[in-house]
Amino acid sequence: MSASHITKKLAVLSGLLLAPGVALADYALNMTQGVTEISNDIYDLHQLVMWICTIAGILVFTVMIYSLINHRKSKGAVAAQFHESATVEVVWTVIPLAVLVAIAVPATGVLLDIEDPSKSDVTIQVTGWQWKWQYNYRDEDLSFFSSLAADSNEARQLDADPSLKVKADNYLLNVDKPIVVPVNKKVRLLLTSNDVIHAWWVPEFAVKRDAIPGYINESHFTATKTGIYRGQCAELCGKDHGFMPIVVKVVEQAEYNAWIKSEKAAIAAAAGDSNKTFTHDELMAKGETVYKANCAACHQADGSGGGPFPGLIGSKVATTGSIEEHLKLIIVGKGIMPPFGAQLSDADIAAVTTYERNAWGNNTGDTVQPVAAKAAR
């Protein structure tokens, strides 16, 4: 490629970057400092090592450049003839050793702090599912699932209107139900998985730990600043790996206590729905919400399916099959379809079954009540 050709390309690129209305990403020259005690310790350690490396590099290259300029053959320099210098051996051994010790002492302290979840104020069990997170507040007897937000889920569907991505709030980084933790309190995380290996990662907390089936990993953080912090699954866990974000809301203690109380009340109310009788329209409305949050990821929002995931339009399961078989499939799962019995309430299962049997022109007229889902478990 000619120099003129390269110059033209650079000019076009510069014009694009400087054009009005062009969004430019933040250009950071350093790592994220974070909002937890551990993340600040890691940042300080990084700064220490960076300055040590910078000073060492300046000294080494200063000596090299000086030697190249002043001791070259054209100036008549003659190399000295010596070997086995004890002084040189001691110097180039002691100085690097001192540098390594200067780095090792604070690094060891940070590593020990990272692995110390003791004296925690809140304990949360984090379970990875394809493709969502389950959070169990062990001290509060509170458990719920957190899935990709509905607007992001709709925007990322096949053949979706591209403008939906712009309209979606924090596209692919927002959830329907964030976890809430109190500020300045130590939060202990117990991480595991229900299916494949996932990884719980929030950069501003300096937490990235694998969630492995049949194994419990531990981590912790103490957020020192209120706000909303986002992360993602950082392990390739399947076709929808990119669609299981993490959202943590850090609040004051009083707000946290109020949230715990309201969540417990909502769960109690949902449990009571198992014996409630809903109208057909109520089940359809609720079923659409449940379907979009849990089923549309594979079967698509319009029920058309895709790849290994069958369509539900006119399918045997959702039309001519028995309601009992339909409920069992949702609760227990089959093949690559995960079981939703632990993820959904009786009312949710009844609603989504009703929706699938009547949406997209299926029109079976069936109405499935929560008692039927409860009996099918």
Secondary structure string (H, E, C) spanning 8-74: HHHHHHHHHHHCCCCCCCCCCCCCCCCCEHHHHHHHHHHHHHHHHHHHHHHHHHHHHHHHHHHCCHH
Q: Which residue has the higher pLDDT, 304 or 24?
A: 304
Q: Which residues contact 184 (CB under 8 A, 6 or more apart)?
A: 222, 223, 224
DSSP string, 184-199: TSEEEEEEEESSS-EE
- At 27, the pLDDT band (50, 70, 90 cuts) reads low
- 247: its two tokens: 């959202």
Q: Which residues contact 341 (CB under 8 A, 6 or more apart)?
A: 330, 331, 332, 349, 377
- At 229, the pLDDT band (50, 70, 90 cuts) reads very high
Cβ contact 356:326 at 8 Å:
yes
CA distance 107 to 19: 45
Task: Say yes or no to pLDDT of 178 above 90.
Answer: yes
**What's residue 293's pLDDT?**
83
Task: Say yes or no to pLDDT of 88 above 80.
Answer: yes
CA distance 303 to 157: 11
**288-297 per-position pLDDT tens digit:** 989 988 888 7
pTM, rounded to two decimals: 0.77
Task: Say yes or no to pLDDT of 106 above 60.
Answer: yes
Task: Say yes or no to pLDDT of 123 above 70.
Answer: yes
**What's residue 29's pLDDT?**
73
CA distance 260 to 256: 6
What is the arithmetic mean of pLDDT over 141-158?
87
Q: What is the CA radius of gyration of the chain?
A: 29
**32-81 per-position pLDDT tens digit:** 888 999 999 999 999 999 999 999 899 999 999 998 998 888 888 888 77
What is the arithmetic mean of pLDDT over 210-216?
95
Task: Please count the residues of the chain.
Answer: 377
Query: Chain-centre distance of CA 187, in angstroms?
Result: 17
**What's residue 65's pLDDT?**
94
**308-333 per-position pLDDT tens digit:** 888 899 888 888 889 999 999 999 88
DSSP structural state of residue 223: B
Cβ contact 181:223 at 8 Å:
yes
- At 166, the pLDDT band (50, 70, 90 cuts) reads confident
Exposed e or buried b per residue across 67-77, where buried means at least 16 C-beta atoms within 10 angstroms of its C-beta: eeeeeeeeeee
DSSP structural state of residue 119: S
**What's residue 270's pLDDT?**
76
